[in-house]
Chain A
C-alpha cells in the first residue's frame, strides 16, 4: 500500500518536474516547482525522514520559491515569452548524451551482481533528536561553516542589490 503510494507520488514528482522545464511561462514553472517540492516532501515522509520533509516545505516551498516569484515579478518577463522557443532543433547531441548518462547509471544499478539487499528495520534516524545530536556533535564544524556561508551570501546579496554595481 505505502509502496504504491510511493510510486504514485514519484510519478507526480516526475510530471511536475517535466512541467517546470517545459512550461513557457516562468510563473507557471514556479508553481509547478512548488508542487514538485511538496511531492518530494511527501516522498521524504514515506522514507521516514520527517525533519527533512518539514525543512523541504519551509525552506524550498516557503523561502526559495517566494524569492523566485519576487524576482519574476521584479523583472517583467511577460513580453519575452513569445520570443523564446522551447524546442531547440540543433541540440540533439546534448539530449542523447544526457539520456545515455542516465541510462548508464540506471543499468549499472539494475545489473549489479549481488544486488542491494533490503533493510527492513524500523528506523529512528528521521527524528529531530537524532539529527540535532549529529549536527551539534559530529558535524559541528560543517554546521558553523554553513552559517558562515549564509553570512557571506547575505553580504553578497546586499552588495549586488545596491544601485551602482557592475
Chain B
C-alpha cells in the first residue's frame, strides 16, 4: 500500500465532513444532492482503502453496491426535485415548508 491506511481514512473523513457542511448550510436542493453524492464517495474511498489494506475483494463489492444505490437514489431524487419545482416553482428549501418543519 503506497500510503498508510490512516491517511486514506482521514481524507475520507474530510470529504465526508465537507458533504455534511453542504447538506447543512446550502439552501439549493441540487447542491444538497451533490453533497450527498460527495458523502457517498467518501464512504467509497474508505471502503476501497480497507479493501486494499486487508487484500480482500469484499470492500470493492460493497463499493459496487453503493454505486448502484447512488444511481437509484439520484434518479428518484431528481425526479422528486423536478416534480417539486413543477408544483412550487422553487428549489429553495426554506420556501418548501408545507410540513412546518
Interface residues of chain A, those whose CB is within 8 Å of chain B, are: 2-3, 6-7, 10, 13-14, 17-18, 20-21, 26, 29-30, 33, 36-37, 40, 43-44, 46-49, 51-52, 55-56, 59-60, 63-64, 67-68, 71-72, 74-75, 77, 80, 83-88, 91, 94-95, 98-99, 101-102, 105-106, 109-110, 116, 118-121, 123, 125-126, 130-131, 133-135, 138-139, 142-143, 146, 149-150, 152-154, 156-157, 160-161, 165-166
- Asked if B70 and A64 make an inter-chain contact with CB atoms under 8 angstroms apart, the answer reads yes
| Closest B residue by C-beta to A154 | B75
User: In the assembled complex, how far is the CB of residue B42 from the closest CB belonging to chain A, in whole angstroms?
Assistant: 9
B84 to chain A, nearest CB (A): 8
Residues of B within 8 A of A63 (CB): 71
Contact status of A17 and B19, CB under 8 A, knowing A60-B41, A125-B55: yes
Residues of B within 8 A of A (CB): 1-11, 13-22, 24-28, 30-31, 33-35, 37-38, 41, 44-45, 48-49, 51-58, 60-61, 63-65, 67-76, 78-85, 87, 90-92
Main secondary structure of the interface of A (DSSP, over half): helix
In the complex, the answer to whether A20 meets B6 with C-beta atoms within 8 Å is no
Residues of B within 8 A of A83 (CB): 92
Total inter-chain residue pairs, C-beta < 8 Å: 232
List residues of chain A with CB within 8 A of the CB of B68.
146, 149-150
> Distance (Å) between the CB of A95 and the closest chain B CB?
7
Query: Given the complex, which residues of B lie within 8 Å of A146, measured CB to CB?
Result: 64-65, 68-69
Inter-chain contacts of B63 with A (CB < 8 A): 49, 52, 55
Are B83 and A84 in touch, CB under 8 angstroms?
A: no
Contact of B55 among A29, A77, A121 (CB under 8 A): A121
- Whether A91 contacts B24 by the Cβ 8 Å rule is yes
Q: Is the CB of B18 within 8 A of A71?
A: no
B79 touches A157 (CB 8 A): yes
Q: A21-B18, A119-B55, A160-B80 are in contact. List 6 more A-B contacts (CB 8 A).
A: A49-B48, A102-B17, A125-B56, A126-B52, A131-B64, A134-B61
CB distance from A23 to the nearest CB of B (A): 8
